[in-house]
Every structure is written in C-alpha cells, then in structure tokens.
Amino acid sequence: MEETYGEFIARTTCKKGRKKKINNSWGVYDYYKFYRKIKPKEKKYVLNEHEFYSLLRKVNQLLAEDLIQNNPIVFPYALGEVYSKRQKAYTSFENGRVMTNRRIDWNATLKLWHEDKEARENKTLIRRTEPYFDSLAYSKRNAKYKNMRYYSFRINKYLLTDFYKIHSQSNVNAILSSVKDFEDIKNLYNG
C-alpha cells in the first residue's frame, strides 16, 4: 500500500525539539517564573500561565503586523531596534558550485520528495523564485549599552513565523538593504 502525503510528512518532519544554540539566555518560561515572583497584588490583574502565553502570542502577532507596515520595533533604554529589510535574491556559480541566497520552498520540496524517491535520496531542494525577499534584522546603530560586541540578539521563532505568515498574505513595503536596487524595485512595482 502506497504512503499518503500526510503520512509522508508525519514520518519525515522532526517531532523532537531542537537543541538550543544559546544556553544562558532567558526564555518565555523564565519570564513567566519572574512574573509569578512580582505579580500584582490585585487579583483581577493576575494572569495564569495560559493567559500569559496567550498575551505573548498576541503581542508577537501585533509586532509582526507592525513590521509588515515597515515600522521598526525600537527597544527601550536604547537597546537597539528590529526592522524588516528587503534583499535582492541572487544565484551565481563560483568554483563549479552554485551559490545562492534564495530561500527553500519546503512545501514544494516535500511534495517532490513524496513523489520522487530519487530526488529525496539526492536531497534535491526547490528554491523560491521571487526576485526579492524580506527578512528581519537587529540594528545596534542607536544602541547605547556597554560591551555591545558580546551580546547577540536572535529573533523569536514565533515572531518570525507570524512575520512570514502575514508577509505571504499581504504586500510588504520593506526597506531595501542597498540603495542601488531602488530603481529595480521602482520598476517592479510600477510595471
């Protein structure tokens, strides 16, 4: 009996959690533990764990919508900002190898792997074909804290997921990462 696409996806996708790259940072549960220590005295303002996580998801969704509208997220106490930027996609050949910054289209790749066993064994990937792609970036330019080079900032995967989900449903007006591409973008939108 042949395996269905849903069974193939369930078998091939990773169900285990990923190993975290940053070991000594605070996560959402750490913030919830901190909130429990400093919770408000009035009972009507106290949140349980489910309400706390729901509130964080809603805030991430609103932040993603704000980034889609090209409004940067400026952190308090001059800790920098997160903004959306647009980059030109490229593909080139260097030393006999294909070099590209195009994103992988995982839905199309998994469908190909389901239909063609040889493509899966060769790990053939299908890349997106858009001439530009948008991403989120952290800027320390306006930051005013000591030892900046020792700190790193990684964008929450839920914020990234919301950003790309909203991005796929709407037209994004991200800032170009290089000024020389402005004419290409202008021609792209003006037809």
Structural domain that includes position 72: 36-87+139-191
With respect to residue 114, please indicate whether it lies within any of the assigned structural domains. Answer: yes
Instruction: Name 8's Cβ contacts closer than 8 Å, sequence gap at least 6.
Output: 110, 113, 114
Residue 189: its pLDDT value, please?
44
- One domain, residues 96 and 120: yes
Q: Rounded to whole angstroms, how far apart are CA atoms 132 and 185?
A: 9
With respect to residue 177, please indicate whether it lies within any of the assigned structural domains. Answer: yes
> CA torsion 49→53→58→61, rounded to 10°?
180
- One domain, residues 82 and 40: yes
- One domain, residues 146 and 120: no
Q: pLDDT of 144-175, one tens digit each?
A: 888 877 777 777 777 777 777 777 766 555 55
Q: pLDDT of 2-57, one tens digit each?
A: 788 888 888 887 766 666 666 666 778 888 888 888 887 888 778 888 998 898 88
Residue 19: its pLDDT value, please?
67
Point out the domain boundary residue: 104, 129, 154.
129
Q: pLDDT of 101-133, one tens digit each?
A: 888 888 899 999 999 989 999 999 999 888 887
- One domain, residues 66 and 104: no
- One domain, residues 54 and 100: no
Q: Is 40 exposed, middle or buried (0-12, 13-18, 19+ CB in 10 A)?
A: exposed
- One domain, residues 95 and 158: no
- One domain, residues 54 and 80: yes
With respect to residue 151, please indicate whether it lies within any of the assigned structural domains. Answer: yes
With respect to residue 19, please indicate whether it lies within any of the assigned structural domains. Answer: no
DSSP result, 35-66: HHHS--SSGGG---HHHHHHHHHHHHHHHHHH
- One domain, residues 67 and 161: yes
How many separate domains does the chain show? 2
